[in-house]
Structure 1
Amino acid sequence: MTTFGITKKSFQLLDKLAANNNREWYHEHKEELREQLIDPFADILEAVSGKLKNAKRPFSGSKQTMFRLYRDVRFAKDKRPYKEHIGGLLTPSGSKKDDAAILYAHLANNGGFIAAGFYRWETKALNQLRERMIEDAKTFRTITRKISKAGYEFSEIEPLKSMPRGYAPYADHEHARFLRMRSLVVSQNLSKEAWIDGTVVKELVKLHRSTIDLMLFGLEAIGQRS
């Protein structure tokens, strides 16, 4: 198994960042953060990209698809200047702007998680996806069963309490639960060891393989299949 430079010290550094979330500490440890967290994380994204280059729909990521540590606190009650985790995407185009369908990795001091799917789509795109769930219920059923069989579950991220506008007649539809969702995301928690020993790469590849039909289903619904 290939390792990428994430070590126990990397997690200790995240703990220290959380305890000293200020500009003075950050600038004193900026190089250390780069060496122990940012660069190794980018290497992981690139390793996954290489594994997926011959996939049904390749996804790729790099340092350019990582999220910066700086927080925008202009309108936030929480004025901490830095995030206390490392996050990054893999997308069909390899661009962070291409966020219709994503594979996401999140490194935190407790290990973190990986996720795949559609996150907070605009209402127009969501409704296009909902229409396809209804029109092609059999295919969507096959997709969700495949994901379940692989051992994953859909995350309940801010689901609507009632059916979305225009979909009340489908309250008893077999996919009513998914029709109420504003994000269709499959996620898996990861241990610290998965990052340290490099098995995070294998887990991301497995998650992509298990969810790619879902992501293609959604991209086709909004006219972005090719």
Structure 2
Amino acid sequence: MSERRFKGFGDKALPFLKALDFHQNREWFLENKDLFESHLKEPLGDLVEDMTERFAGAGLPFRGDRVKSQFRIKRDTRFAKDKSPYNRHLSALLSADGSKWTESGCFYVCIGLPGVRDCYAAVAWWQQKPELLLAMRKAIVEKPEEYRAMVKALKRNRLSLHDVDRLKRLPRGFDTDEADIAEALRNRHFVVRLDIEPDSITSPDLADRLFDFAVRAKPLIDWGKKIEKRVPA
């Protein structure tokens, strides 16, 4: 395996985001763009390339491009109440097809300010196409032992499904008296999350921790992939 690319984010990465949160104007950003590039954007590109190589070696279905996998720091404010021009975080997404607009399983990392967006990583089935989400819900009902085995495997790996954007009621056409199955059916997404200590992002060891997390999250991806294969293209 080639020499690791990722050397850590720059020591001015979080101070830059804090200052950007305060200034939020194009003039300030352009004056400090070199700082953004060297302490945030380029290191995140290195991290994407590093993780892509590690994931390939471990058989994990996540890959990305150092530029295309990153979400823009500039916000699209056309339909937003908040007209601030810049995000207070920088993030990237790796997926099976290398696209960051995937409907399949993905790996996501966000470098942000505590209390604003936070620093974290996630492995998820996120915003799946309706056919896949329906198939997942049917699989939970028809083969609950497989779903429960996945949850137990995650627990053994010190992970649990993250409650995010869950339906308040069971989706139409589904019914169950079992609490864990009802909870699962109300999921729109299936997510496990790793919180990242903001002070640790300057260390190259961050890549090791993210890789370990993704490996521990593999039961979730394997469960979804098995179902995905049965969904007509």
Indicate the residue corresponding to 1:83 in structure 2.
Answer: 87
Instruction: Mark the runs of 5 or more structure 1 residues left unpaired by the alignment.
Output: none
Matched, 1:106 2:110: yes
Partner amino acid for 1:17?
A: L
Indicate the residue corresponding to 2:31 in structure 1.
Answer: 28
2:85 match: secondary structure: coil
Deviation at 1:214, TM superposition (A): 1.6
2:119 match: secondary structure: strand
Deviation at 1:174, TM superposition (A): 4.1
Rounded to whole Å, the distance in 2 between the matches of 1:8 and 1:199 is 15
CA gap 1:172/1:58 in 2 versus in 1, 3 angstroms: closer
1:116 match: secondary structure: strand
1:18 match: secondary structure: helix
> More deviation in 95-104 or 155-164?
95-104
Indicate the residue corresponding to 1:206 in structure 2.
Answer: 212
Matches within 5 A, 1:64-213: 64-110=68-114, 112-167=119-174, 169-172=175-178, 174-213=180-219
* Aligned 8 A contact 1:163 1:171 in 2: no
* Aligned 8 A contact 2:49 2:64 in 1: yes
Deviation at 1:120, TM superposition (A): 2.6
Rounded to whole Å, the distance in 1 between the matches of 2:98 and 2:129 is 21
Cα deviations by residue, 1:16-59 (Å, 9 ceiling, x for unpaired): 11111111111111121011100001111111111111223341
Instruction: Mark the runs of 5 or more structure 2 residues left unpaired by the alignment.
Output: none
Cα deviations by residue, 1:195-216 (Å, 9 ceiling, x for unpaired): 1112221222122212223223
1:71 match: secondary structure: coil
Rounded to whole Å, the distance in 2 between the matches of 1:73 and 1:162 is 32
* Aligned 8 A contact 2:9 2:43 in 1: yes
Indicate the residue corresponding to 1:223 in structure 2.
Answer: 229
* Aligned 8 A contact 1:2 1:197 in 2: no
Indicate the residue corresponding to 2:15 in structure 1.
Answer: 12
> More deviation in 56-65 or 31-40?
56-65
* Aligned 8 A contact 1:114 1:188 in 2: yes
Rounded to whole Å, the distance in 1 between the matches of 2:65 and 2:142 is 37
Deviation at 1:171, TM superposition (A): 4.1
1:187 match: secondary structure: strand
Deviation at 1:140, TM superposition (A): 1.6
Q: Give the TM-score normalised by the residue count of structure 1.
A: 0.90
Rounded to whole Å, the distance in 1 between the matches of 2:223 and 2:6 is 34
* Aligned 8 A contact 1:12 1:109 in 2: no
* Aligned 8 A contact 1:3 1:197 in 2: no
Question: Quick one: percent identity of the two aligned structures?
Answer: 25
Aligned length: 224
Partner amino acid for 1:130?
A: R
Rounded to whole Å, the distance in 2 between the matches of 1:15 and 1:200 is 21
Q: Give the TM-score normalised by the residue count of structure 2.
A: 0.88
Rounded to whole Å, the distance in 2 between the matches of 1:99 and 1:68 is 19
* Aligned 8 A contact 2:6 2:50 in 1: no
Rounded to whole Å, the distance in 2 between the matches of 1:107 and 1:58 is 22
1:124 match: secondary structure: helix
